[in-house]
Amino acid sequence: MSSSTISVDGKSVELPVKEGTIGPSVVDISKLYGQTGMFTYDPGFTSTAATESKITYIDGDKGILLYRGYPIDQLAEHGDFLETCYLLLYGELPTAAQKADFDYRVTRHTMVHDQMNRFFTGFRRDAHPMAIMVACVGALSAFYHDSTDISDPHQRMIASMRMIAKMPTLAAMAYKYSIGQPFVYPQNGLDYTSNFLRMCFAVPAEEYKVNPVLSRALDRIFILHADHEQNASTSTVRLAGSSGANPFACIAAGIACLWGPAHGGANEAALKMLEEIGTPDRIPEYIAKAKDKNDPFRLMGFGHRVYKNYDPRARIMQKTTHEVLNELGIKDDPLLDVAVELEQIALKDEYFVEKKLYPNIDFYSGITLKAMGFPTSMFTVLFALARTVGWIAQWSEMIEDPSQRIGRPRQLYTGSPERDYVTVAQRG
Ligand code: CMC
C-alpha cells in the first residue's frame, strides 16, 4: 500500500493511500484527527469518499456509468429491470434459472397489507405523491415486523424483496388516489413494468392492454435510474442505516432526500421549465437568465455534480423519448421542439461549455413520462421506484461490511464561544 505525507502545523503525517479497481485512489484520513487534532473540511463531499463500494462506478469526465462493471448502455439495450436488480443486489448477472426464481419471488410480494389502503384516505387528494411515498414506505415497517431485524440475513433479503415488489404498487396507489380512481391490484402474470403500467392506467370498468413499446421504454428508464453510486439519497440511506434503523425507514429517508429539485425532483422541474419557455423563440431569454449571476434561475436538466461530460444515461434517454413519441404518434410536440433547440443552443454556449454543463438524464425523461400519461408530480415517484434497488443494494453492502460503524460527520464550529446564561430580566 502506498502512502501520502502531509504537513500539519509543521508536523509531518504519513497517511495510507488506498487503491480501487478503477478510478481515483483515496487518502485514508481516518487517523488524521488522532494524529493532529484536526478534522478535514469538505462541505458537499466534493473530494471525500464516504465509503468503499463494489456496486456502481462513474467516471464523470469520460461519461461512463457501470453497474457491477457492466456499461449502462449494454444493460439498457439487452437486459430488463429485474435482471438489473439481481445484478445490483447479488453482484453477477443471473443464469436463466436464477432469473426465473428472482422474478417469481419479486412478483409474489407485490400486494400490500390491506390496512395500507386506510393510510391513503388520510391524505388530501391533492397531496404530492412523494409525501405519500415517504409516509407509506416508512409505514411498511409497521406491517412487516418479520423483516425488520437487520442482523438476520434472511430477514434482510425478505425486506429487500418486499420493497422492490411493493414500490410499484404503492406508487400506482398514490397516483390512483390523486385522480379519484379505485386502486388496481397487481397481476402477477405480467412482467414488473407492465404490471406497474396496468396498476396506473387500468380501470375496473374496462379491459387494459399493456403497450409493449411503452412497457419496454419505462423498463429502460427504470434501469437507467437503478443506481448512481454515493449520490445524496443513497448517502442518506447509508447514514440512516448506519444507526441500525430498519430498512423500510432507511428507504423512506432516501425518498425524502430524492424529492428535492437538485436531485430527483429535477425531471419535474425540467418539464415545468420547458412548459414555461413554451416556444423556441423564448430560449435566449432563459439562457440569459441562467447565466445571470444575480438571478437564481438555473436551466433544469443541465449540469451534474459528477458528469462533466455528456451524461451516458441522457443519450439512451433521448433515444427512448423518440421511440415513445413515435409509438404514440406524437409528431410535433412543442415541448420536444423547445428541448431539442435548448440542448443545441446550450451545448454551443460559452458559459455552458466552459462550466461543462451538459444535459442530464432528467432533461429528456420528463417529456417521455408525460407522453406516457404520467402527471409531473409522479416523475420523482418513478425515480424513487427505480432507485429503491440501488438504495437496498448499497444498504445491504454497508450492513454486511464488518468494519461498518455509525456515520458521524464532524464540523467546523463558527458559533459563539462558551458564555454564561443570562436571565430574561437581565437581558438588555
Ligand atoms: N444552469 C445554470 N448554471 C448552472 C447550472 C444550471 N443548470 N448548474 C450549474 N451551474 C453553474 C453554477 O451557477 C456554478 O457557476 P459558478 O461557478 O459561476 O458559481 C457552476 O455551474 C457550478 O455549479 P455548482 O452548483 O457548484 O455545481 P454542483 O455540482 O454543486 O451542482 C447540480 C450540480 C446538478 C445540483 C446543478 O448543476 C443544478 O442545479 N442543475 C439543475 C438541476 C438538475 O438538473 N439536477 C439533476 C441532477 S441529475 C439527477 C440526479 O442524479 O439526481
| pLDDT digit string, tens, across residues 218-245 | 999 999 999 999 999 999 999 999 999 9
Smallest CA-to-CA distance from 171 within 398, 15, 27, 379 is with 379
Using most ligand atoms within 8 A of CB, pick from 360, 363, 380 the residue to mutate for ligand 1.
360
Query: How far is it, in rounded angstroms, from Cα 279 to Cα 418?
Result: 58
Q: In whole angstroms, how large is the CA radius of gyration of the chain?
A: 23
Query: How far is it, in rounded angstroms, from Cα 56 to Cα 306?
Result: 13
Q: Which atom of ligand 1 is found nearest the CA of 303?
A: 37
Average pLDDT rounded to a whole number, residues 342-350:
89
Average pLDDT rounded to a whole number, residues 130-144:
95
Q: What is the percentage of the chain residues whose pLDDT exceeds 90? A: 81
pLDDT tier, 318 (very low <50, low <70, confident <90, very high otherwise) = confident
Smallest CA-to-CA distance from 351 within 395, 401, 289 is with 289
Cell of 374: 404520467
Residue 265 has a pLDDT of 82
Query: How far is it, in rounded angstroms, from Cα 223 to Cα 74?
Result: 11
Evaluate if residue 51 carries a pLDDT over 90. Answer: yes
Q: Which atom of ligand 1 is found nearest the CA of 228?
A: 51
Evaluate if residue 10 carries a pLDDT over 90. Answer: no
C-beta separation of 232 from 253 below 8 A: no
Provide the mean pLDDT of the chain: 94
Helix axis angle, 212-225 to 379-400, nearest 10°: 50
266 lines ligand 1 (CB under 6 A): yes
Distances (CA, A) of 229 to 54, 221, 387, 409: 9, 17, 11, 19
At 27 the three-state DSSP class reads: strand
Evaluate if residue 1 carries a pLDDT over 80. Answer: no
Cell of 325: 413519441
304 lines ligand 1 (CB under 6 A): yes
Q: Which atom of ligand 1 is found nearest the CA of 231?
A: 51
156 lines ligand 1 (CB under 6 A): no
258 lines ligand 1 (CB under 6 A): no
Q: Which atom of ligand 1 is found nearest the CA of 311?
A: 48
Using most ligand atoms within 8 A of CB, pick from 305, 306, 310, 311 the residue to mutate for ligand 1.
305
Evaluate if residue 314 carries a pLDDT over 80. Answer: yes
User: For residue 305, how far is its CA from the centre of ligand 1 (angstroms)?
Assistant: 7
383 lines ligand 1 (CB under 6 A): no
Distances (CA, A) of 207 to 107, 198, 202, 234: 21, 10, 7, 39
Cell of 189: 402474470
Phi/psi at 31 (5° precision)? -100, 0
> Scanning the structure block, which residue is given the C-alpha cell 407509506?
136
* Residue having the nearest C-alpha atom to atom 19 of ligand 1: 293
User: For residue 421, how far is its CA from the centre of ligand 1 (angstroms)?
Assistant: 43
Smallest CA-to-CA distance from 257 within 345, 380, 157 is with 380
Query: How far is it, in rounded angstroms, from Cα 48 to Cα 51?
Result: 9
Q: Do strands 26-27 and 3-8 pair parallel, antiparallel, or not at all (unpaired)?
A: unpaired
Residue 42 has a pLDDT of 96
290 lines ligand 1 (CB under 6 A): yes
The enclosing H or E element of 396 equals helix 379-400
Question: How many helical (H) and strand (E) elements, i.e. helices and strands, does the chain have?
Answer: 18, 6
Phi/psi at 100 (5° precision)? -60, -40
232 lines ligand 1 (CB under 6 A): no
Residue 332 has a pLDDT of 76
Q: Which atom of ligand 1 is found nearest the CA of 298?
A: 1
**Terminal CA-CA length for the chain:** 61
320 lines ligand 1 (CB under 6 A): no
Would you please indicate which residues are annotated as catalytic (active-site) residues?
304, 362
Query: pLDDT tens digit string along 142-185?
Result: 999 988 999 999 999 999 999 999 999 999 999 999 999 999 99
Residue 375 has a pLDDT of 94
